[in-house]
Structure 1
């Protein structure tokens, strides 16, 4: 997700994430953006930009969890901007945190995150480590990836997503965004806080930002956002491959604006304990228009259905009690 400085954003800087014991919601789940979601011990965790009580608290990250997708518990602040010692090394007057991605390996938890602005200084990606998903996370001490103008064009170092391949055991970092709209992939070192090598990949059609990787039945799904983050053309597209690094077969658009919800994107796919799949994403809950969209984005959760050929059916956005619940998703599949 690309950050742009606007007056309404300035008024939201410094708004603290709510730390109340719990919040209850249907669809949309809560206010926030860029949700990275995963199942941890049969509980859904969401790591967003912002969260309940004030989106765009751009100086910290929090986490939220639920066992039923109705009642959400705050896990508190997991990393603050003032804990990142290198953040001011670029000399920029202000810095913002957004688009977290979380991975786990060998009993440790890794929080990958974007640091803006992109201009006039390059955007950067950092990583922090913890012993538990709720932290506290300890920053690695240096940026993992730096954006800016490269030999083959502009690269915006945002929207990191780490994927540990269940088949090979290799870990990959996917990143890239609007400036240049270029996807880059690296194999991570075993320590998960260093880069072993960059992996050349083809650019998937209609890629803008927000890459996510998941694997199902031996098929690797690269999904990503297309369009402008604050306009109705923001949408989710996907491609498939037989490996996590391609080559990609473009499969089309699966999530787009409708009459009541605009600009859905920056998403995660999650497999439930029952064996079903969900998509967690952000959207604006307002009628169609030309944009730019105003107000706060909302996190929502909807069902994903796959065809016998491995394709993903177009996703219908739901409201209220039409949203999925964990106990009602389906019976466990062996």
Structure 2
């Protein structure tokens, strides 16, 4: 058995606990990414609470549609064979197919068994046992649905041990026993699922529910197993606030006890806020693990403005989890530029690059706020007498030649590397001679540390330009053209 996303899979080309996975497909498994190399968010739109599964040699992500509760009446899914290119499967479950769901459905938990696909979900956001709602289960004959209510009523309809019946996760252990973990309002429960996956079993003492709440727990439990040990992850903080985060515990039993060990994923003021409600994916037959989660872009204040992301998750020799770093990368291999915002010019993500048609000052920026960082990009100036390159520590962007406050470093076929700063005008800071051929790719790097700015081209050991300027201390990162067309690839921004 191997374990992925907390669900057991027999890697033998046969129907297993979570679906079909062909062992021959392992040779075509995705490479060991450090993050979503083609950019986070990896799909378009406001989504949250992602859970993952592998069905029929495809990776599936089932998230919440992040909207106001009365509009959150459907669930979409996304699938991929390479974790880069994603296909949207809209409306895999809607409240029209759940007779008792009258408002929001969220936090879907996928799993397969007995030749069928199950999707557990929370509905109605009940606030007491006097209300109708809780955790339901839907079933389908295909991973992408449509899913329909399996039992005509909630599977878990009431508060037990103080746990609001929401935020469920389902896990099948090596012995075939299935468990459901759930709970909001600061309490977590576990219950056994019977083999039909639509009814609850009992523990040896006759109880149906066991409270397993670890210190700091708020909501969003996630269970997975690695090397015979049980990992419980959960979210802490408020989901609409900036300090939403993920912590974890390890136990020798699927029912605990679970003692909090550390935070795994927290906000990064340079990248995103509100990172939480995660799931875990293990590439079968490997020690490659990813954490899937949602986060809020830095410029967004609406609680529902959440996007899907994933990053690599690594383990120490003793089995503890290393803290996850939210990385910033985009190689545009997915043919899109999700997460980028353009200001002037014409921009297209095609052919594995981000292409800017000729313009005077068109720029595309990320929603980040880096201070001391290393900025990397591959730049190809395709035509024009001007230049193309990196924008960094930028603020107040708008359409216009120098309509931003920040720095810019670029290369030009006129035989120069240029560095300057903008504030609705242009102030040169440095130039250096460099033979630049139109149509040839160059690797441009900028390093910032305090007031020191260094610019490198291809040779990453000796800077072409080094200056000291303290006009701008932090801001957005991106790319720009001036009197040129260009292609950009392999954008990476790393905190120093």
Q: TM-score range with shorter-chain normalisation?
A: 0.7 to 0.9
Task: Mark the CA change 1:269 to 1:82 in structure 2 (over 3 Å): closer, same or farther.
Answer: same
| Partner Cα separation in structure 2 for residue 322 and residue 311 of structure 1 | 31
**Residue 353 (structure 2) aligns with:** none
Task: Mark the CA change 1:293 to 1:77 in structure 2 (over 3 Å): closer, same or farther.
Answer: closer
Superposition CA RMSD, Å: 2.5
Q: Unaligned regions of 5+ residues in structure 1, if any? A: 1-23, 88-93, 326-334
Q: Residue 91 of structure 2: SS of its match in structure 1?
A: strand
Report matched runs for 1:223-262 at 5 Å.
223-259=233-269, 260-262=271-273
2:68/2:304 contact within 8 Å kept: no
Q: Residue 293 of structure 2: SS of its match in structure 1?
A: strand
Shift of 1:316: 0.4
**Residue 177 (structure 1) aligns with:** 184
Task: Mark the CA change 1:241 to 1:115 in structure 2 (over 3 Å): closer, same or farther.
Answer: same
Q: Residue 170 of structure 2: SS of its match in structure 1?
A: strand
Aligned to 2:63, which of 48, 56, 59? 48
1:100/1:111 contact within 8 Å kept: yes
| Partner Cα separation in structure 1 for residue 317 and residue 275 of structure 2 | 26
**Residue 385 (structure 2) aligns with:** none
Report matched runs for 1:193-272 at 5 Å.
193-197=198-202, 198-259=208-269, 260-272=271-283
Task: Point out 4+ residue stretches in structure 1 off by more than 6 angstroms.
Answer: 322-325
**Residue 28 (structure 1) aligns with:** 41
Aligned to 2:195, which of 184, 190, 194? 190
| Partner Cα separation in structure 2 for residue 219 and residue 321 of structure 1 | 35
Aligned to 1:144, which of 144, 150, 155? 155
Q: Unaligned regions of 5+ residues in structure 2, if any? A: 1-36, 203-207, 335-496
Shift of 1:64: 0.6
**Residue 15 (structure 1) aligns with:** none
Task: Mark the CA change 1:45 to 1:55 in structure 2 (over 3 Å): closer, same or farther.
Answer: farther
| Partner Cα separation in structure 2 for residue 113 and residue 47 of structure 1 | 10
| Partner Cα separation in structure 2 for residue 240 and residue 182 of structure 1 | 18
**Residue 321 (structure 1) aligns with:** 330
Shift of 1:139: 0.8
- Structure 1 length-normalised TM: 0.79
**Residue 311 (structure 1) aligns with:** 320
**Residue 6 (structure 1) aligns with:** none
1:299 to 2:311 alignment: no
1:282 to 2:294 alignment: yes
**Residue 23 (structure 2) aligns with:** none
| Partner Cα separation in structure 1 for residue 328 and residue 55 of structure 2 | 25
| Partner Cα separation in structure 2 for residue 104 and residue 49 of structure 1 | 19
Report matched runs for 1:97-112 at 5 Å.
97-112=105-120
Shift of 1:78: 1.4
Q: Residue 82 of structure 1: SS of its match in structure 2?
A: helix
1:48/1:62 contact within 8 Å kept: yes
Aligned to 1:59, which of 56, 73, 90? 73
Higher relative CO (Cα under 8 Å, sequence separation at least 6) belongs to 1
1:254/1:312 contact within 8 Å kept: yes
Task: Mark the CA change 1:25 to 1:122 in structure 2 (over 3 Å): closer, same or farther.
Answer: farther
**Residue 16 (structure 1) aligns with:** none
1:84 to 2:98 alignment: yes
Shift of 1:320: 3.1
- Structure 2 length-normalised TM: 0.54
2:133/2:154 contact within 8 Å kept: no
| 278-287 vs 116-125, greater mean Cα deviation | 116-125
Aligned to 2:86, which of 72, 92, 109? 72
| Partner Cα separation in structure 2 for residue 40 and residue 84 of structure 1 | 24
Task: Mark the CA change 1:42 to 1:323 in structure 2 (over 3 Å): closer, same or farther.
Answer: farther
Q: Residue 86 of structure 1: SS of its match in structure 2?
A: coil
| Partner Cα separation in structure 2 for residue 251 and residue 323 of structure 1 | 37
Task: Mark the CA change 1:310 to 1:116 in structure 2 (over 3 Å): closer, same or farther.
Answer: same
From the two aligned structures, give the one with the greater strand fraction: 2
Shift of 1:43: 2.3
- Aligned residue-pair number: 285
